[in-house]
Amino acid sequence: MWNVARSAARSLRQYRRFSAAIPGPCIVHKRGTDILHDPWFNKDTGFPLTERDRLGLRGLLPPRVISFEQQYERFMNSYRSLENNTQSEPTSVVSLAKWRILNRLHDRNETLYYRVLIDNIKDFSPIIYTPTVGLVCQNYGGLFRRPRGMYFSAKDKGEMMSMIYNWPSQQVDMIVITDGSRILGLGDLGVQGIGIPIGKLDMYVAAAGINPQRILPVMLDIGTNNQKLLKDDLYLGLRQPRLEGDEYLSIIDEFMEAAYTRWPKAIVQFEDFQMKWAFETLQRYRKRFCMFNDDIQGTAGVALAGLLGAVRAQGKPLKDFVKQKIVVVGAGSAGIGVLNMAKQAVSRMLQSSEILESNHQFWLLDKDGLITKERKNIDPAAAPYARAQGEVEGLGEGATLLDVVKKVKPHVLLGLSGVGGVFNEQVLKAMKQSDSCRPAIFAMSNPTMNAECTAVDAFKHAGENIIFASGSPFENVPLGNGKVGYVNQANNMYLFPGIGLGALLSGARLISDGMLQAAAECLASYMTEEDIKNGILFPSISSIRHITTQVGAAVVEAAVAEELAEGHGDVDPKQLSHMSKEDIVDYVARNMWYPIYNPLVHEK
Ligand SMILES: NC(=O)c1ccc[n+]([C@@H]2O[C@H](COP(=O)([O-])OP(=O)(O)OC[C@H]3O[C@@H](n4cnc5c(N)ncnc54)[C@H](O)[C@@H]3O)[C@@H](O)[C@H]2O)c1
Ligand SMILES: O=C(O)C[C@H](O)C(=O)O
Ligand SMILES: [Mg+2]
């Protein structure tokens, strides 16, 4: 009998694999209230009567069966009444109330949660992702009700290999980890940074169709240097300063070994690590594991797509990118990641290393102003972008942003500084003298209050002709006479889900520059000439699932071309290599999870 059940379960699993879109049966090893309390399987009042009998649920629920559609409507109605009833409340109060209602659903019924998220992604992403997720991290102690994801602390050294088996899921496809040291532009939030991996993985489910039973948010708590948190009795993390040097690395090493021992095919995304560890860990692991750093590499691809869009918006051919003068404000993991990728694009376009020596179109500033070769203790990652002293008359080491903009007259001003308002009125007005007929202003820092400028200020001071993008969402700006200033959201959410999905479905050994470049090019070519002419550089977030399918397919194709693809499930590398472009898109789309109530079949 047991064997029959096992083999039936096996064939059911196979059936599921080939029919992602059909409501195939789902194996559950629990019965009764254990199912009702498990958000992966719970359907609330939606369990059909036959299933109630099969799973020992009869009598544990009110008799009436409510359809999925009715449950959906009921949730949306309560969400809308929350919106109506809180109109006079401060934005932060309303956002947190919205987060709470979504989070409660997440904790109770994942299928319904992900369906409402997918269908309403434009309205809900600012709640589960930036900017509200930042507020959630800041208030994590007070909001904490139930744990989500895994927590590995410095005190767990030596234990991680066994701890990893505490995670209930047999298979994990996507892991997002943080050490909480640079949460958005909010600084070191210690263990409270767990909100970021949770939000990113919600985007993986919504945009990339990663099965929520196969995601794992991870917090590596290595201490915090945030004095306020260290003094807070109710702080939930380790109350000790951050470990440094080899002590720090040994913790990350141990986690990576543990994760890959249990799930050798998982993809690991590093998120919101402070710069020194962001670069160091990327270098340390990228050849050994299938991992990437979203802040360095995901952001770079999105920014590059935006920069190429800005060239097209000026009515110029793409190869003119090499002549664009770009001022990057913020020399951290994101800013330098963008420059590294832009530099690669320039060198590909020129097919020569000539320009790489001079970097003549890039200008990099940090908190101490313009970075030149005179800079003492220059960070090795920033060094390639340091300008020669006095290259442009009047611009020396530490020159202010205003002076740089006035003298350089850049085509693009791109902020990844984490400092709200650094693109002040004077700086924005100076952008009017840009050498571009359509200057681009990218205020990419998150969350909203950390954006380098608001959309309204950008259009007001820099002119109506600008191209504008921000990391967190702003409303489009009415310009009068029926015209609107279009606000793009330049956020790595347009790429990381596709990078992860493509790496997973190709079974890539590692994530190469070529795969990342393919992702960026796919996003860059997504927009039509008409969109670009109207200042629209990125697609609407409402179509994120479609974009991610395309990006994922581009990544699979690149992995196959570079012979990095080892296959996924029953699809071997040879089959992948025989797929046409269309086949790959179809393969990716078919393997994306979509929330529906599957019939549950009990197996002991
Ligand atoms: N839109 C996106 O997709 C996206 C992606 C990644 C990061 N970000 C945002 O970018 C910001 C920076 O991230 P990071 O990882 O590079 O951080 P980081 O801490 O590594 O770097 C911040 C940099 O900004 C510089 N800086 C600080 N104050 C400045 C000032 N007044 N003027 C000029 N430069 C200043 C610092 O010197 C440092 O070089 C954060 O707000 C983050 O949320 C956005
Ligand atoms: O999280 C985001 O919204 C983008 C980015 O990864 C960031 O760190 O700001
Ligand atoms: Mg990030």
Query: Which residue in this structure is represented by tokens 């942003």?
Result: 401
How do 326-329 and 362-366 pair as beta strands?
Answer: parallel
**CB 132 within 8 Å of CB 172:** no
Place of tokens 């507020």: 135
Residues in contact with ligand 2 by the CB-under-6-Å rule are: 130, 184, 272, 294-295, 446, 471, 491-492
Query: Cα 67 from chain centroid?
Result: 33
Split at pLDDT 50, 70, 90, the class of 567 is very high
Residue tagged active-site, from 79, 113, 114, 129? 129
- SS3 per-residue string spanning 479-528: EECCEEECEEECCHHHCHHHHHHHHHHHCECCCCHHHHHHHHHHHHCCCC
Determine contact, residues 502/554, Cβ cutoff 8 Å.
Answer: yes
Distance, CA of 4 to CA of 70 (rounded, Å): 37
What is residue 25's predicted lDDT score, i.e. its pLDDT? 87
CA of 86 to the centre of ligand 1 (A): 33
Q: Comparing C-alpha atoms, which of 103, 189, 83 is closest to residue 447?
A: 189
Locus of tokens 């693809």: 565
Residue 125: how many other CB atoms lie within 10 Å = 25
| Mutation pick for ligand 2 pocket among 177, 472, 491, 538 (CB with most ligand atoms within 8 Å) | 491
Query: How confident is the model at residue 504, as a pLDDT?
Result: 98
Minimum CA distance residue for ligand 2 atom 3: 130
Rounded-to-5 percentages of helix, strand, coil across the chain:
50, 10, 40
Q: Give the pLDDT confidence score for residue 403 in this predicted structure.
A: 98
- Which residue's entry shows tokens 């179109």? 361
460 HSE (CA, 13 A, CB side):
10
What is the percentage of the chain residues whose pLDDT exceeds 70? 95
Residue 359 clears pLDDT 70, i.e. is over it: no
- Tokens matching residue 98: 């919205």
H or E, element range at 426:
helix 425-430
Q: Cα(167)–Cα(164) distance, rounded to whole angstroms?
A: 6
Structure tokens at 147: 């744990």
Band (260; pLDDT cuts 50, 70, 90): very high
- Ligand 2 centroid to residue 339 C-alpha, Å: 17
15 confidence band (pLDDT: 50, 70, 90): very low
Question: Ligand 3 center to residue 223 CA distance, Å?
Answer: 19
Backbone angles phi and psi of 96, in degrees to 5: -65, -35
Given a cut of 90, whether residue 7 has pLDDT beyond it is: no
Nearest ligand to the CA of 450 is: 1
* Ion ligand 3 — residues with CB < 5 Å: 271-272, 295
Residue 604 pLDDT: 86
- Detail the residues annotated as belonging to a binding site: 182, 271-272, 295, 446, 491
Measured in whole angstroms, the distance separating CA 115 from the mean position of its chain's CA atoms is 19
Helices (H), 60-143: 68-85, 91-108, 110-119, 121-128, 132-138, 140-143
**Looking at the predicted structure, is the pLDDT value of residue 10 above 50?**
no
Residue 460 known to be catalytic: no
Tell me how far apart the alpha carbons of residues 310 and 326 are, in angstroms, rounded to a whole number: 11
Range 103-113 average pLDDT: 98
pLDDT higher than threshold 70 for residue 1:
no
Residue 570's closest CA among 599, 598, 600, 591?
A: 591
For residue 24, what pLDDT is reported?
78
144-153, 233-242, 384-393 — which is least confidently predicted? Answer: 384-393
**pLDDT band, residue 357 (cuts 50/70/90):** low
- DSSP state for residue 358 in the 8-state scheme: H
Task: Find the radius of gyration of the CA atoms of the chain.
Answer: 25
DSSP 8-class letter at 56: T
Task: Using pLDDT thresholds of 50, 70 and 90, give the confidence band for residue 3.
Answer: very low
- Ligand 1 center to residue 177 CA distance, Å? 19
Residue-wise burial string across 5-39, b where 16 or more C-beta atoms lie within 10 A, e elsewhere: eeeebeebeeebeeeeeeebebbbebeeeebbeeb
| In the predicted structure, residue 311 carries a pLDDT above the cut 90 | yes
Instruction: State the distance from the centre of ligand 1 to the C-alpha of 445, rounded, in angstroms.
Output: 6
- CB half-sphere exposure, 473, CA atoms < 13 A: 19
Mutation test of ligand 1: which of 282, 304, 367, 470 has the most ligand atoms closer than 8 Å to its C-beta? 367
Q: Which of 270, 302, 417 to mutate to test the pocket of ligand 1 (most atoms within 8 A of CB)?
A: 417
Mean pLDDT in residue range 262-272: 98
Of 246, 213, 209, 241, nearest in space to 225 by CA: 241
Tell me the three state secondary structure of residue 66.
Answer: coil
* Helix/strand/coil for 302: helix
| Alpha-carbon separation of residue 277 from 252, 273, 274, 282, 423 (angstroms) | 10, 6, 6, 8, 28
Per-residue pLDDT reduced to its tens digit, 448-507: 999 999 999 999 999 999 999 999 999 999 999 899 999 999 999 999 999 999 999 999
Q: How confident is the model at residue 2 (pLDDT cuts 50, 70, 90)?
A: very low
Q: What's residue 23's pLDDT?
A: 66
- CA end-to-end distance (rounded Å), the chain: 11
Q: Going along 368-418, which residue ranges are E strands?
A: 369-370, 412-415
**Per DSSP, what are the bridge partners of residue 413?**
327, 441
Band (pLDDT 50/70/90 cuts) for residue 390 is confident
Question: What integer is the mean pLDDT of 98-116?
Answer: 98
- pLDDT surpassing 60 at residue 17: no
369-370, strands of its sheet edge to edge: 369-370, 362-366, 326-329, 412-415, 440-443, 467-470, 487-489
Q: Residue 559: what pLDDT?
A: 98
Report the side by side order of strands in the sheet with 174-178.
150-153, 215-221, 174-178, 267-270, 291-293
The mean predicted confidence, pLDDT, of the chain is: 94
Rounded to an integer, what distance in angstroms lies between the CA atom of residue 8 and that of residue 153? 41
Which is nearest to 487 in space by CA: 535, 437, 554, 542? Answer: 535
* Catalytic residue chosen out of the listed positions 30, 43, 98, 200: 200
| pLDDT at residue 356 is higher than 70 | no
Ligand 1 pocket, Cβ-based, cut-off 6 angstroms: 182, 184-185, 275, 295, 299, 302, 329-335, 365-367, 416-419, 422, 444-446, 450, 471, 490-492
Q: Is the confidence at residue 352, as pLDDT, over 90?
A: no
Q: Reply yes or no on whether 200 is catalytic.
A: yes
Instruction: Report d(CA 177, CA 83) in Å as an integer.
Output: 33
Mind listing the domains of the chain with CATH numbers? 4-21+494-529+538-590 (3.40.50.720), 43-138 (1.20.1370.30), 144-289 (3.40.50.10380), 307-490 (3.40.50.720)
pLDDT at 270 over 70: yes
Secondary structure of 526-595 as H, E, C letters: CCCHHHHHCCCCCCCHHHHHHHHHHHHHHHHHHHHHCCCECCECCECHHHHHCCCHHHHHHHHHHCCCCC
Least confident of 75-79, 352-356, 443-447, 541-545: 352-356
Distance (Å, whole) CA 133 – CA 148: 14
Q: Which are the contacts of 472, defined by CB distance < 8 A and separation ≥ 6?
A: 126, 130, 131, 446, 447, 448, 451, 489, 491
Q: Which residues fall within 8 angstroms of residue 368, CB to CB, at 6 or more apart? A: 375, 398
